[in-house]
Structure 1
Amino acid sequence: MLNSFKFHHIGVAVNDIESTATVYMNGGYLRSETLFDPIQNVKICWLTKDGMPTIELLAPVNETSPVKKILEKNGVSPYHICYEVNDMDIVINNLRKQKYVMVCKPVPAVAIHNCRVCFLFNKYVGLIELVESPAEI
C-alpha cells in the first residue's frame, strides 16, 4: 500500500527551532517562517533544498505537546515520515487492516494549508503521518 503514497516530508522533533534551522541552513536549506499549530501545541518550521527531502522541524510549546514526550524519550531526532494520500479515509481503513494503529485522528494542519493529517503506528514501520491531497479536501 505504501507504494501508492507520495512522499511529503520527514518530521524532526527539536527543542529549539532556531538553532536546528541554522544548522540546516548552513547546509544549504532554506527555511520558512515559524508557525504555531494550536491543535498539536507545537511550533513548526519547514526546511527545503533542491533535490533533498523536505524537513519539518517541530518544537513543543508546552508539556501537553506530543512532541515533548518524543523528545523526552529519544532526544532531538527524526520521528515520522509523512506521505500525501488521496482518499484519506479509505487509506486509513486499509492501513488498519495491515496492523497500523491510529495515534491521532484526522485533524486540520495549520502548517499544511489546513489539509487533514493523521498519525498511524506500525511496530515494523514506526510512526507515519498522512496528509490529504489538497484536491481531495
Structure 2
Amino acid sequence: MDFDPDIFRFHHIGVACRRIETEERGWIALGYAREGDRFEDPQQGIAGVFIVGPGPRMELLEELPGSDTLTPFLDAGTKMYHHAYEVPKLELAEEILRQYRGKVISPPKPAVAFGGRRVVFMILPNRMITELIEL
C-alpha cells in the first residue's frame, strides 16, 4: 500500500516520567513551554501535559496513584516511548498499520487529553509504540 500523507499527521512524542514538574524543568531549559493545562485520564492511568518549543510537541506523562501504565518504560529507563498521529478515520489507519504487522496493544477508547476523541495504541514490528488519535 502506498503511503498517503493525508491519513497520518504527526502530533507528538510521548515521554514517560516519574514527576511531570521535574521532567518539565529540563525541557524549559531547551525553550519549551506548556501548551494547555495538566490533564488526568483515570481510564489510561496517567496524568500529563503537552509542551511545545523548538522541536516536536511533547506529551509528558506520569502515572496516577495505583497505576502501572508507565512502569515498564520507567523501569527500563525509556523516556520517549510512543509517537502519535492524528488520523481522519481511526479504523482505516489501524487497518493500514495491521497490513504492516502492527498489533493493537490498547484498544480504542476515549482520551481526556483529546476531548474524548478515541485513541488506540499499536506496536509496530520495529517495537515502536504508535498512538492513533481520531480527528
Residues 2 and 121 from structure 1, CA distance in 2 versus in 1: closer, same or farther, beyond 3 angstroms?
A: farther
- What is the CA distance between 1:124 and its match in structure 2? 1.7
Q: CA deviation at 1:67?
A: 1.1
Instruction: Give 1:34's aligned residue.
Output: 38
Which TM-score applies when normalising by structure 2?
Answer: 0.88
Q: How many residues align?
A: 131
| CA distance 1:2–1:81, change in 2 (3 Å) | farther
User: Does 1:24 find its partner at 2:24?
Assistant: no
Matched, 1:14 2:14: no
Letter in 2 for 1:62: P
Q: TM-score, normalised by structure 1?
A: 0.86
Change (3 A) 1:111 1:28: same
Instruction: Measure how far apart 1:18 and its partner are.
Output: 0.3
Counterpart residue number, 1:47 = 51
Deviation at 1:2, TM superposition (A): 7.0
| Contact 2:82-2:131 at 8 Å conserved across structures | yes
Superposed structure 1 runs of 4+ greater than 4 Å apart = none
Deviation, 1:123, is 2.2
Distance in structure 2 (CA, Å) of the matches to 1:2 and 1:37: 31
Question: Corresponding residue for 1:116?
Answer: 118
Aligned to 2:79: 77
The 1:45–1:2 alpha-carbon spacing in structure 2 relative to 1, beyond 3 Å, is farther
Name the Cα RMSD after superposition.
1.7
- Among all aligned residue pairs of Structure 1 and Structure 2, give the percentage whose two residues are the same amino acid: 31
Q: Which residue of 1 aligns with 2:68?
A: 65
Q: Is 1:62–1:68's contact at 8 Å kept on the other side of the alignment? A: no
Partner of 1:102: 104
Alpha-carbon offset, residue 63 of structure 1? 4.4
Unaligned runs of at least 5 residues, structure 1: none
Contact between 1:5 and 1:83, CA under 8 Å: does it hold in 2? yes
Q: Match of 1:79, as an amino acid? A: Y
Gaps of at least 5 residues in structure 2 are: none
- 8 A contact 2:19–2:62 mirrored in 1: yes
Contact 2:42 2:64 in 1 (8 A): no
Preserved contact between residue 10 and residue 78 of structure 1 (Cα < 8 Å):
yes
Q: How far, CA to CA, are the matches of 2:101 and 2:83 in structure 1?
A: 17
1:34-90 per-residue CA deviation (whole Å, 9 max, x = no partner) reads: 2111111111011012x5210000111234332122212x22510001011111112
